[in-house]
Amino acid sequence: MKLAHSAAELGQLVRTAIAEGKRVAFVPTMGALHEGHLRLVDIAREHAEFVVVSIFVNPLQFGAGEDFDRYPRTLEADCDLLRARDCDAVFAPSASEVYPPDGRPGKPTERAGIIGSTFEGAARPGHFDGVLTVVGRLLQLVEPDVVIFGQKDAQQVFMVRKLIGAKYRDVELVVAPIVREPSGLAMSSRNRYLTPSQRETAVVVSKALRAVDFAAKHGLPASFCIEAGLTLFAGEPKAKLEYLAVVDPQLFKPVTDKFKGEALVIVAAEVGGVRLIDNQFIEIREQDA
C-alpha cells in the first residue's frame, strides 16, 4: 500500500494503475476508520483492481461551533487498518492540496439547492455545499471509475448522486449498506465519543427505525408510522430527538399518508452531546381490508 500526500504523488500511482489496465475505485473518508469504512473498501475491491482511500477532514463542511478541531485524526492507525484490507493507495492530502494555493477553501463552488437546506442541511447550514465541493474536488484529483459511499449518510448520498449525474457522468456511484454494531447502533466515527451508558441510550435511534418499519409492514400510513418511532423516543429522555421523518427516496421530501411504495425513514438525535444520524428503507403497503 502506498501513502500519497500530494496530488502529484497520487496522480502517478493512478496513472500507473490505468496503464496496467486496472479499473480505479475510490472511497472518500475523513479518517477515524471503523468497520463500516472498511466494508466500503471491500466493496470497492469487488468493483476495481486498484483501490484508493482518501483521508481528509474537510473544513468546508463544518459550521461554526461544530467539532472540526476535535474530530479524530488517526492517520497511522487508519493506514494499519487499510493495509490489512487490501487497499492500494491512501491519499492523505493537506488542505492546500485540496484547496490550492493556501488551503483556505473560501466559498463553496457547489450548491446543494433547496433539499440541501432541509433535515441535515437545516441543522448544519452550508454543510452540503461543503460536502459537494470537496467531493467534486476529490473526484477531479483521483479520477476514479467508481466511487463508494455508505448509505448511513442518506441525504449526502442523494446529493452526491445528483452531483455525479450532472458533472461526473463517467463515474459510477456504488452505495454500500449501513454497517451496525451488535446493538443495532449504526457505526460512526463519532460513536467513540459515547460512554458505555450513552451507547445503551443511543440504541433508541435504530429501535425507532424498526418501530416505523413494523408499522409500515402492517399497512399504517406514514404519519402513524412516524408516531410509532416517536413513542420510542418519548420513553428515552436522555436521547434528544432532532427529526424523524419518512421521505420519498427519489425526491428526499416528506411523503403524505397517501404514499405507497418504498420510502426512507431518516432520523437524527443527540445523545450525550454526540449527534447521531441513521436511516432505513421501508415499504408502505396498502392496509389490509
SS3 of residue 169 by DSSP: coil
The 3-state DSSP class for residue 89 equals strand
Q: In what order do the strands lie in the sheet with 146-150?
A: 2-4, 89-91, 50-55, 24-29, 146-150, 172-176
Alpha helices in 2-50 (DSSP H): 7-19, 35-47
- Calpha distance 38→32 (Å, rounded): 11
Instruction: Identify the CA nearest to 276 among candidates 239, 225, 249, 221.
Output: 239
From the candidates 37, 47, 127, 218, which is the catalytic residue? Answer: 37
Cβ atoms of residues 232 and 207 within 8 Å:
yes
253-254, strands of its sheet edge to edge: 253-254, 239-248, 261-271, 274-284
Q: How far apart are CA 147 and CA 258, in angstroms?
A: 35
Contact 140, 128 (CB under 8 A): no
In the DSSP assignment, the letter for residue 194 is -
Written as one letter, the residue type at 184 is: G
- Distance between CA atoms of 164 and 138, rounded to whole angstroms? 12
Respond yes or no: is residue 47 known to be catalytic: no
Cell of 26: 475510490
Which residues are the active-site residues? Answer: 37
